[in-house]
């Protein structure tokens, strides 16, 4: 049987890293039927829309996608495809495991944190009021009347939206993940001392859900204190659950602890579909150079195999990737600071090395 998987190459470095991930996934011996679909600027040029129906229908049908990063134009142009995809498919949980593989250059030791980020609301609601617009003037009037606060007409607003339903759902996801993966502690992250209604609601929801999971320890921490503690002693954290924006920022921080964006995988999960993609973006200035690290994308592929129930193949692929990193011969520039020229592998050479490791491990059996 072949698994039907939607493959979104993305843009920038996306096509190179997804190709590397596709090759190592196929080398596990599992059969895939890749349904290639386009998003973002590439799709805009091909179909006149950055998010074509073909893409959404493919993911709805296959329920699983492997996705390269897609560039989001800053300031003008279409809104983030990534945000739109997560909303349209209700991929409410973003899962980002951050663990140190031996051989990765980092001053930290024994970090193994899982970041669970709420994906559908918060400041990503997309409800924005532009300075000078008519509806913004009405909002300024409403705030002035109801909250007795004056704002000039040169003010813009972005709405932070947090609901009990979404907060409970993501908290439950974090506890279920902890239970299924033998994790001991879930920490809810917030700024409820300042944003009493939004973050306060998130924290209350997490506390209530925690009561249903007496086998898992629960704690909470204010987001700024968390950032300091992550840099001082990251080993104290296990599973973190956060609203959308803090989740975005903290997952990059955690990626930094474990060796950078080149080794940070991720998944966006809902009840009906799952998209596996690295934490990093499209890094346009490296596009087409066969230079960047495909490990984050390959490890996202490992997560996809686990999601598909292919536990043994996931373990084999993860071990092959870990062995290549530990050996340090065929790794990209970001894992070899100070190295030059021939000492550094390109994107496709890393994939070759991982495939060799898998072949070697199966011939030993
Ligand atoms: P980025 O992650 O693309 O790149 C930042 C820097 O991180 C790069 O310059 C590079 O030094 C390093 N880096 C990233 N990926 C790497 C890899 N695989 N190997 C080695 N080094 C790597 O972040 P950015 O520059 O802020 O974003 C570029 C574009 O990507 C933006 O348009 C952004 O909106 C988009 N983006 C997309 C996604 C997604 O599709 N899921 C996620 C994040 C950002």
Q: Give the model confidence (pLDDT) of 77-113 as tens digits.
A: 667 888 889 989 999 999 999 999 999 999 999 999 9
The DSSP 8-state label assigned to residue 272 in this structure reads S
Phi, psi of 217 (to 5 degrees): -70, 145
Which protein residue's CA is at the shortest distance from atom 43 of ligand 1? 281
Task: Give 81 or 3, the one with higher predicted confidence.
Answer: 3
Under the banding of pLDDT at 50, 70 and 90, the label for residue 365 is low
Q: Which two tokens stand for residue 322?
A: 């870990």
Question: In 74-89, which positions are buried (b, 16+ CB within 10 angstroms) versus exposed (e)?
Answer: eeeeeebbbbbbbbeb
Whether residue 282 has its Cβ less than 6 Å from ligand 1: yes
Q: Distance (Å, rounded) from C-alpha 186 to C-alpha 22?
A: 33
Residue 254 and residue 247 in contact, taking contact as beta carbons nearer than 8 Å: no
Nearest ligand 1 atom to alpha carbon 17 = 18
- Kindly report the pTM of this predicted structure: 0.93
Whether residue 346 has its Cβ less than 6 Å from ligand 1: no
Whether residue 121 has its Cβ less than 6 Å from ligand 1: no
Q: Distance (Å, rounded) from C-alpha 19 to C-alpha 287?
A: 13
Q: How many CA atoms lie within 13 A of 147 on its CB side?
A: 8
Query: What is residue 106's predicted lDDT score, i.e. its pLDDT?
Result: 94
Q: Is there a catalytic annotation at residue 148?
A: no
Instruction: Give the model confidence (pLDDT) of 111-158 as tens digits.
Output: 999 999 999 999 988 899 999 999 999 999 999 999 999 999 999 999
Q: Distance (Å, rounded) from C-alpha 231 to C-alpha 209?
A: 28
Which protein residue's CA is at the shortest distance from atom 25 of ligand 1? 283
Residue 313 and residue 30 in contact, taking contact as beta carbons nearer than 8 Å: yes
Instruction: Give the model confidence (pLDDT) of 159-212 as tens digits.
Output: 999 999 999 999 999 999 999 999 999 999 999 999 999 999 999 999 999 999
CB within 8 Å of 165: residues ≥ 6 apart: none
Q: Is there a catalytic annotation at residue 352?
A: no
Give the Å distance between the CA of 10 and the centre of ligand 1. 12
Residue 136 and residue 123 in contact, taking contact as beta carbons nearer than 8 Å: no
Phi, psi of 34 (to 5 degrees): -90, 120
Instruction: Give the model confidence (pLDDT) of 52-66 as tens digits.
Output: 999 999 999 999 999
Determine which one of 124, 177, 246, 333 is catalytic: 124
Q: Is there a catalytic annotation at residue 224?
A: yes
Instruction: Give the model confidence (pLDDT) of 295-350 as tens digits.
Output: 999 999 999 999 999 999 999 999 999 999 999 999 999 999 888 877 899 999 99
Which protein residue's CA is at the shortest distance from atom 44 of ligand 1? 281
Nearest ligand 1 atom to alpha carbon 68 = 40
Residue 74 CA: distances (Å) to CA of 14, 51, 78, 79? 18, 17, 9, 9
Residue 1 CA: distances (Å) to CA of 30, 81, 305? 9, 31, 14
Query: What is residue 152's predicted lDDT score, i.e. its pLDDT?
Result: 96
Whether residue 28 has its Cβ less than 6 Å from ligand 1: no
Q: Residue 4: is its pLDDT beyond 70? A: yes
The DSSP 8-state label assigned to residue 268 in this structure reads E
Residue 86 and residue 246 in contact, taking contact as beta carbons nearer than 8 Å: no
Q: Residue 75: is its pLDDT beyond 70? A: no
CB within 8 Å of 364: residues ≥ 6 apart: none
């Amino acid at each position: 049987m072949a698994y039907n998987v939607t493959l979104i190459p993305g843009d920038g470095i996306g096509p190179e890293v997804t190709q590397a991930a596709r090759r190592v996934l196929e080398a596990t011996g599992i059969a895939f039927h890749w349904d290639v679909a386009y998003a973002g600027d590439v799709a805009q040029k091909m179909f006149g829309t950055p998010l074509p129906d073909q893409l959404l229908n493919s993911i709805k049908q296959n329920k699983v996608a492997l996705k390269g990063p897609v560039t989001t134009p800053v300031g003008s142009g279409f809104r983030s495809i990534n945000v739109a995809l997560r909303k349209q498919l209700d991929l409410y949980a973003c899962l980002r495991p951050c663990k140190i593989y031996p051989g990765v250059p980092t001053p930290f030791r024994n970090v193994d944190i899982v970041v669970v980020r709420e994906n559908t609301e918060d400041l990503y609601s997309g409800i924005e009021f532009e300075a000078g617009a008519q509806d913004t003037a009405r909002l300024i009037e409403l705030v002035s009347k109801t909250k007795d606060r004056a704002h000039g007409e040169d003010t813009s607003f972005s709405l932070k939206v947090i609901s009990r339903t979404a907060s409970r759902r993501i908290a439950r996801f974090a506890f279920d993940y902890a239970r299924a993966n033998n994790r001991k502690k879930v920490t809810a992250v917030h700024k409820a001392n300042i944003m009493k209604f939004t973050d306060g609601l998130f924290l209350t929801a997490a506390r209530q859900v925690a009561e249903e999971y007496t086998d898992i320890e629960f704690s909470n921490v204010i987001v700024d204190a968390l950032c300091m503690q992550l840099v001082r002693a990251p080993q104290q954290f296990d599973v973190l659950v956060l609203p959308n924006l803090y989740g975005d920022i903290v997952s990059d921080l955690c990626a930094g602890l474990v060796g950078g964006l080149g080794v940070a995988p991720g998944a966006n999960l809902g009840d009906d579909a799952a998209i596996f993609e690295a934490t990093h973006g499209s890094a346009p200035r490296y596009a087409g150079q066969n230079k960047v690290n495909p490990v984050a994308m390959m490890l996202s592929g490992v997560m996809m195999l686990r999601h598909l129930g292919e536990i043994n193949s996931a373990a084999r692929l993860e071990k092959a990737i870990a062995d290549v990193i530990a050996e340090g011969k065929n790794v990209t520039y970001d894992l070899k600071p100070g190295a030059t020229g021939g000492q550094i592998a390109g994107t496709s050479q890393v994939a070759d090395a991982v495939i060799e490791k898998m072949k070697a491990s199966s011939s030993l059996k």
